[in-house]
């Protein structure tokens, strides 16, 4: 929620709110009173136990005047709609219920919060599984491989047997300027199927150093923090763009000490992505600085081991540029496999083969038009 300069929280405003807060704390919930500003405060914010700086829900304590005033009810409905639109889960507790059945009311409130927490954890688990499905640890050195037999080459393009579990592809370690892949360096030789070994370099791909920013997980969702978030987004795009939007979100989440990048974190970051160009690709949505989208982009070698990228993390424009710089890839019996070897990939899974095929198609169209 937006925050005033003097802060985003206040004090409990009534004995009713104090009683509710006390009972919630007895049941292990961490409460923050009067979160927000002006008419858009929630009476009691409930801290998310798993996500630093995030709120699980807001508890609204409604007194007797709420029941007796139609104007107050209408105003509160609009207010609740705004709060929900800002991502809040609103739970209400009524003063009349509280005074006549404190124990039962408290248990119902606790159960509602527990249900919200369970749902949040389920979504976080799904998000984590989804991210794990497309992120691989790429870039380690691998042992040299003997040339494939002719019969294996003939079947290389066939679908993998469904009973065989694909392993993550491994991309070769970064090469020094002018250095070429070699067996002695422990990198897969591209010469097994081609005579080329040139990778066009567009400079080094470096991870963004965000340690210079004054990060505050507790203020992450506050209005006054928007400038810091926007500056961090700009820094990542400037250093690493084009890159996938979920990778950018991970960079910022890690800078705040979060191991997971949940939906609410993504939604908050997405508010600052409207000024960037996008290209929708098979592995996700890539962000570019405004006006810089191109069909071909020189491949960026990793600056160090931490900067290695998976095939899914590399824009098609970069992969296609490697093909254009090595046209004889297109004359090989299996261009995707040859491209993978040039990049230092040890094993080529179906999902990565498909992406390399996209890059090859783009390169062919580009070469045909020149």
pTM of the model as a whole: 0.52
Cα 186 to chain centroid distance, Å, stands at 32
Tally the residues of the chain: 370
pLDDT digits (tens, 9 = 90+) for 50-65: 887 788 988 988 864 4
Ranges of each domain in the chain: 15-132, 150-368
**Two tokens at 310?**
């998976």
Largest CA distance in the chain: 85
Q: Which residues contact 338 (CB under 8 A, 6 or more apart)?
A: 190, 193, 194, 329, 332
Three-class secondary structure of residue 277 per DSSP? strand
Query: Which of 282, 195, 191, 203 is closest to 239 using CA atoms?
Result: 203
Query: Which of 243, 238, 239, 234 is closest to 204 using CA atoms?
Result: 239
Q: What CATH architecture applies to the domain 15-132?
A: 3-Layer(aba) Sandwich (3.40)
Q: pLDDT value at position 109?
A: 92
Q: What is the DSSP letter of 7?
A: B
For the chain, which ranges sit under pLDDT 70? Answer: 1-10, 36-40, 63-82, 84-86, 129-202
Cβ neighbours, 10 Å, residue 292:
12
Q: pLDDT value at position 68?
A: 46
Cα dihedral angle (286, 290, 291, 293), rounded to 10 degrees? -10
Q: Quickly list H helices, the chain.
A: 15-26, 64-68, 70-85, 95-100, 102-134, 150-154, 226-240, 245-255, 263-270, 316-325, 335-343, 350-368
pLDDT digits (tens, 9 = 90+) for 290-329: 999 999 999 998 888 888 898 999 999 999 999 999 998 8
What DSSP letter does each residue of 254-270 carry, written as one string?
Answer: HHTT-S---HHHHHHHH
Q: pLDDT value at position 275?
A: 92
Q: pLDDT value at position 169?
A: 56
């Amino acid at each position: 929620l937006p925050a005033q300069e003097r802060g985003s929280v206040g004090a409990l405003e009534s004995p009713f709110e104090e009683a509710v807060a006390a009972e919630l704390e007895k049941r292990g919930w961490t409460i923050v009173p009067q979160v927000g500003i002006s008419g858009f405060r929630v009476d009691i914010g409930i801290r998310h136990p798993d996500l630093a700086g995030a709120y699980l829900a807001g508890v609204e304590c409604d007194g007797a005047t709420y029941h007796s005033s139609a104007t107050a009810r209408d105003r509160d409905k609009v207010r609740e709609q705004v709060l929900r639109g800002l991502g809040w889960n609103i739970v209400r507790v009524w003063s009349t219920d509280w005074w006549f059945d404190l124990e039962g009311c408290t248990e119902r409130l606790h159960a509602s919060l527990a249900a919200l927490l369970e749902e949040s954890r389920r979504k976080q688990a799904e998000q984590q599984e989804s991210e794990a499905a497309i992120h691989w640890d790429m870039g380690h050195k691998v042992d040299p491989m003997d040339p494939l037999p002719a019969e294996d080459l003939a079947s290389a393009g066939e679908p993998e047997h469904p009973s065989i579990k694909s392993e993550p592809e491994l991309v070769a370690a970064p090469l020094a300027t002018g250095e070429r892949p070699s067996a002695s360096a422990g990198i897969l030789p591209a010469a097994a199927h081609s005579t080329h070994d040139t990778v066009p370099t567009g400079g080094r791909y470096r991870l963004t150093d965000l340690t210079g920013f004054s990060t505050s997980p507790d203020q992450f969702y506050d209005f006054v923090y928007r400038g810091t978030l926007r500056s961090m987004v700009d820094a990542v795009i400037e250093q690493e763009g084009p890159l996938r939007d979920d990778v950018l979100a991970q960079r910022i989440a890690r800078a705040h000490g979060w191991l997971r990048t949940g939906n609410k974190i993504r939604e908050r970051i997405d508010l600052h992505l409207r000024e960037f160009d996008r290209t929708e690709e098979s592995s996700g949505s890539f962000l570019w600085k405004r006006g810089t989208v191109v069909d071909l982009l020189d491949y960026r070698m990793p600056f160090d081991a931490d900067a290695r990228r998976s095939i899914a993390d590399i824009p098609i424009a970069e992969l296609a540029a490697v093909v254009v710089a090595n046209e004889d890839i297109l004359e090989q019996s299996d261009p995707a496999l040859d491209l993978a070897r040039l990049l230092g990939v040890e094993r080529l899974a179906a999902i990565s083969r498909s992406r390399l095929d996209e890059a090859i198609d783009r390169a062919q169209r580009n070469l045909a038009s020149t």
